[in-house]
């Protein structure tokens, strides 16, 4: 193993690496990168924001119902919908003030009471009872205390009891059959639309949860790079392609120099910022087909398909120079700019069975860079 780029130290002996011509990316002007402050979790807020939107949407629908029932000549239902608007707006305000349970109970009371009054006033065939069915998926999906089955059974009992009462009493404020049919069609259209919207919401929730779990399983939470297990999975495919094509492949391992000193002198937040900044510089200087991962602590590992070891050394040297020239400015602005350096170990990879051995060789080359004064590239 031999150093391929000199450390800026009297003890290091420069050795030039002969590299074949390789396409070079346009050089970027180094710029300072800042620490991004971490935000708090927003879990649960999206659900209650949705409930507030539902309350406003329902109030708007009831405003339309006021016009409909005024036109059809049902003054009792005109008044009922006016009261419903007040209840939905009240629920919206309660949830906005974080009285979530009270707001949700008010919505439940509105739907149950409105369904009963509408069905009793103009008859079961008006379709007011369809809205009760919307509670079934909400109960089953949202309930987490083992009460879903009893609540659905209670809703079923209420539903059947309301139908029996409507059949027994008949419409208390009947409308012409044509008017009842119009109301029924309106309810069918609205319930279809609400069912589609609710299904879309739950589907989006599931997909977001799946994406979040996938990221947690495959990505490093700090830098956003692949973790060890995901790196090994990705490299298996890259190595298989390399074996089929007979193309060369290289491995690049790097480590932040004096990282413990950064944490001790500037704090762990600054240390995290260093790791994030290094990850960004590594990613921006590698190709789309290269596989990059945070290997552990302050170490990063990259697999470079279709790259000779000398070309990989040239890439490592370019990254080394970019990191050395790029200061870190903490987000608070109280600390002076931090100047950091990287040490590299580069080696070739012959195939899948050689990956672990290649990592060991790269680690030895990295140790040679550290022993040779740091801030340099060695190949093994």
pLDDT band at 50 (very low <50, low <70, confident <90, very high): confident
Determine how β-strand 291-296 pairs with β-strand 299-305. Answer: antiparallel
Residue 318's nearest CA partner among 32, 30, 31, 34 is: 30
CA distance 349 to 362: 10
pLDDT digits (tens, 9 = 90+) for 97-120: 989 889 989 999 999 999 999 999
- State residue 362's pLDDT score: 94
Residue with tokens 């120079």: 321
- Give the contacts of 312 (CB within 8 A, at least 6 positions apart): 250, 251, 252, 304, 346
Q: Is the pLDDT of residue 60 over 80?
A: yes
Q: Is the pLDDT of residue 22 over 70?
A: no
- State residue 114's pLDDT score: 95
Q: Is the pLDDT of residue 245 over 50?
A: yes
Q: What is the DSSP string of 297-350?
A: TTEEEEEEET--HHHHHHHHHHHHHHHHH--EE-TTS-SPPB---EEEEEEE--
Question: Between 213 and 290, where is the model more confident?
Answer: 290
When pLDDT is averaged across residues 304-314 and rounded to a whole number, the result is: 93
What domains are defined for the chain?
A: 45-217 (no CATH), 219-379 (3.30.70.270)
Helices (H) and strands (E) in the chain, counts: 12, 8
Q: Is the pLDDT of residue 186 over 50?
A: yes
- State residue 130's pLDDT score: 94
Q: Is the pLDDT of residue 199 over 50?
A: yes
Q: Is the pLDDT of residue 189 over 60?
A: yes
Q: Is the pLDDT of residue 126 over 80?
A: yes
- Mean pLDDT in the chain? 83
Q: Is the pLDDT of residue 363 over 90?
A: yes
- State residue 83's pLDDT score: 96
- State residue 331's pLDDT score: 56
């Amino acid at each position: 193993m031999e150093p391929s780029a000199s450390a800026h130290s009297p003890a290091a002996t420069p050795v030039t690496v002969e590299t074949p011509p390789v396409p070079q990316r346009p050089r970027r002007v180094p710029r300072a990168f800042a620490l991004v402050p971490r935000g708090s979790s927003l879990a649960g807020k999206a659900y209650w924001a949705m409930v507030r939107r539902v309350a406003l949407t329902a109030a708007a629908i009831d405003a339309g119902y006021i016009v409909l029932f005024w036109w059809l000549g049902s003054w009792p239902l005109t008044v009922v919908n006016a009261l419903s608007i007040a209840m939905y707006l009240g629920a919206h305000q309660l949830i906005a003030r974080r009285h979530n349970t009270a707001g949700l109970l008010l919505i439940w009371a509105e739907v149950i009471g409105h369904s009963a009054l509408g069905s009793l006033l103009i008859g079961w065939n008006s379709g007011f009872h369809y809205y009760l069915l919307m509670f079934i998926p909400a109960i089953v999906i949202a309930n987490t205390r083992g009460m879903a089955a009893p609540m659905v059974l209670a809703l079923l009992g209420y539903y059947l009891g309301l139908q029996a009462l409507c059949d027994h009493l008949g419409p208390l404020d009947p409308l012409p059959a044509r008017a009842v049919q119009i109301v029924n069609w309106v309810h069918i259209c609205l319930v279809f639309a609400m069912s589609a919207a609710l299904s879309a919401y739950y589907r989006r929730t599931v997909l977001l949860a799946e994406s979040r779990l996938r990221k947690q399983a495959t990505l490093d939470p700090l830098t956003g790079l692949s973790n060890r297990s995901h790196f090994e999975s990705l490299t298996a495919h890259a190595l298989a392609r390399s074996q089929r094509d007979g193309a060369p492949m290289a491995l690049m391992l790097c480590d932040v120099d004096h990282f413990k000193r950064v944490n001790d002198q500037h704090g762990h937040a600054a240390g995290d910022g260093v790791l994030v900044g290094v990850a960004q510089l590594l990613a921006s200087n590698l190709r789309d087909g290269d596989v990059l991962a945070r290997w552990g602590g302050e170490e990063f590992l990259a697999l470079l398909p279709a790259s000779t070891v000398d070309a990989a050394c040239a890439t490592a040297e370019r990254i080394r120079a970019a990191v050395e020239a790029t200061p870190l400015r903490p987000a608070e602005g109280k600390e002076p700019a931090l100047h950091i350096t990287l040490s590299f170990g580069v080696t070739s990879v012959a195939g899948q069975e050689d990956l672990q051995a290649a990592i060991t060789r790269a680690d030895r080359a990295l140790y040679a860079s550290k022993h040779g004064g740091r801030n340099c590239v060695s190949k093994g």
